[in-house]
Chains A and B, each alone.
Chain A
């Protein structure tokens, strides 16, 4: 029961428009940055080496190379600071955590493109978009009803 209550609390804050993400994917993360009164968007491009948590507390760790130096950012997926996540490539991996990439230099850093399990992946994506559309439809009908109530 308690898990259901927590889920209900988190429900309002969960994003419905997240893409299907997997460890090994190369992604563009659009991060909102507020400087004084101005807001701009910075794109952080890299490989997901770790996914952790579930529900509202889910995070991904994205690794990229900046000026020959490895940079990792752990980003809460449902944070309002994350404007958008785009999947650029699907990498082929055999592990859940790609810490070994930290020790790789040069070409070895690259992951093979995903070939195995592509069918399952497409199914997941289709399911996700359907769910998203259903959520949007529900939200639309709810917003339609509201003015009627008042």
Chain B
């Protein structure tokens, strides 16, 4: 069965989070949206199966002064006939060969993309306890609990730790939280403003305002969204 999902252009773009607002629909309902200023990106490298083992395009985003860059980067971007860029990210595409070195990708290329995956770096929370970091319940407020109300509890006994003298690997404990790569999948694209290079995505996205985001055509759509795409 031919699905419209196969016709969605596969692409990606780099941008910066601007902030959040809401947009009203004509029927009076409204949607929370994140405004992202994305592109224009330059295609700084086209990879193919033969030479690189896989098909992909590499995108460069945001100019950087030559003196703040490095010679390898300056040389690499010069091959694509462009000034040095601050960020480079790859998008895996089966049809990478159709793209030209030095070509540009703008938000207009995402016009027919109904859903995107958004990759960002979450806000750093510092060293956090197990209640905030892993949603542990902590201990009771009373009934004899003293000075251990937010502690994680047992990390296992002799039998579960196999007599090794230390807890099992991967046991969830307190530690550094946030400031890590987070991918949100299948966010609806609400609006695109080609004039200002803005793309508006429904709901929140990871990271602080002004942080770098990577957007790509949603890789795997959930069933319900596939139905919506096919019906449109």
Contacts and interface: CB of A to CB of B under 8 A. Distances in A.
A105 interface: no
Nearest to A7: B21
Contacts of A3: 19
Contacts of B18: 2, 5-6
B24 A78 contact: yes
A13 B196 contact: no
Contact of B210 (A2, A32, A81): A2
The contact size tier of chain A is: 10 to 19
Nearest to B197: A5
Interface stretch (B26-34, B63-71, B82-90): B26-34
A13 B27 CA distance: 13
B22 interface: yes
B30 A76 contact: yes
Given A5-B196, A5-B198, A9-B35, A79 B21 contact: no
Interface string A1-23: 01101101110010000000000
A43 to B, nearest CB: 16
B56 to A, nearest CB: 30
Of listed A5, A8, A76, A78, residue having the most chain B CB within 10 A: A5
Nearest to B33: A9
A56 B196 contact: no
A150 to B, nearest CB: 18
Interface string A78-98: 111100000000000000000
Contact of A9 (B24, B26, B28, B198): B198
Interface in B11-49: 18-19, 21-28, 30, 35, 37
A34 B29 CA distance: 12
B19 A34 contact: no
A3 B200 CA distance: 15
A13 B24 contact: yes
A57 interface: yes
Contacts of B196: 5, 8-9
B109 interface: no
Interface residues of B, number: 19
A34 B21 contact: no
A10 B209 contact: no
Nearest to A57: B22
B180 interface: no
A137 B227 CA distance: 46
Contacts of A78: 24
Nearest to B20: A6
Interface string A25-63: 000000010100000000000000000000111000000
A79 B210 CA distance: 28
Contact of A13 (B23, B193, B198): B23
A80 B24 contact: yes
Contacts of B198: 5, 9
B28 A79 contact: yes
Contacts of B26: 80
Contacts of A79: 24, 28, 30
Contacts of A34: 27-28
Contacts of B200: 9
9 contacts: A5-B37, A6-B18, A6-B19, A6-B21, A8-B196, A9-B21, A9-B200, A55-B21, A76-B24
